[in-house]
Structure 1
Amino acid sequence: MDQPVHHFSELFEQLGLRSDAESIERFIQRHSPLPKEMPLADAPCWNEGQADFLKEAVQEDADWAEVVDHLDASMHKPV
């Protein structure tokens, strides 16, 4: 059975955030870059539920893991 492919905008929807391209770009600019040693889920911009979702997606290698990795890379990259 194929796992679904999630888009970046769908991850933002799942996190309860605005998911249009402009809002995503603004969010990343506002909260980046994260310190190299800081895991994405530990960033201060997340509430507890969002942080838990991000941690679980990666730990369980869930169908969200690939797009969460993309967000991680985006938020650690110097703006």
Structure 2
Amino acid sequence: MEMQNHPLSSLFDQLGLDSSEQDIFDFITEYGPFLRTEELHHACFWSESQAAFLKEAKNEDADWAEVVDQLDAMLRARED
């Protein structure tokens, strides 16, 4: 099976979020930093369907897993 490398903007599109560079920056600024002890899909700012997608992407090591990891790291980056 060939894995696809999705850009962050495609993940935001998949989640039904605005996906311009500015929109992504604004999202990270608004919701980061995110606690290291909580799994990304448990964050209170996701809808049920968004959380399910993120969980499935990670649990099944889907072709979205890499970009989900990228988003996770970006949301935690400001945490000290």
Paired position in structure 2 for 1:27 = 27
- Looking at structure 2, the residues matched to 54 and 7 of structure 1 have their Cα atoms a distance apart, in angstroms, of 15
CA RMSD of aligned residues (A): 1.1
Counterparts of 1:1-79 in structure 2, within 5 Å, are: 1-78=1-78
- Looking at structure 1, the residues matched to 4 and 38 of structure 2 have their Cα atoms a distance apart, in angstroms, of 28
Structure 2: give runs of 5+ residues left out of the alignment.
none
> Offset of 1:2 from its aligned partner?
2.1
| Count of residue pairs the alignment pairs up | 79
Runs of 4+ in 1 over 6 A off after TM superposition: none
CA deviations on 1:17-54 (whole Å, 9 max, x unpaired) are 00000000000110010111011111111000000000
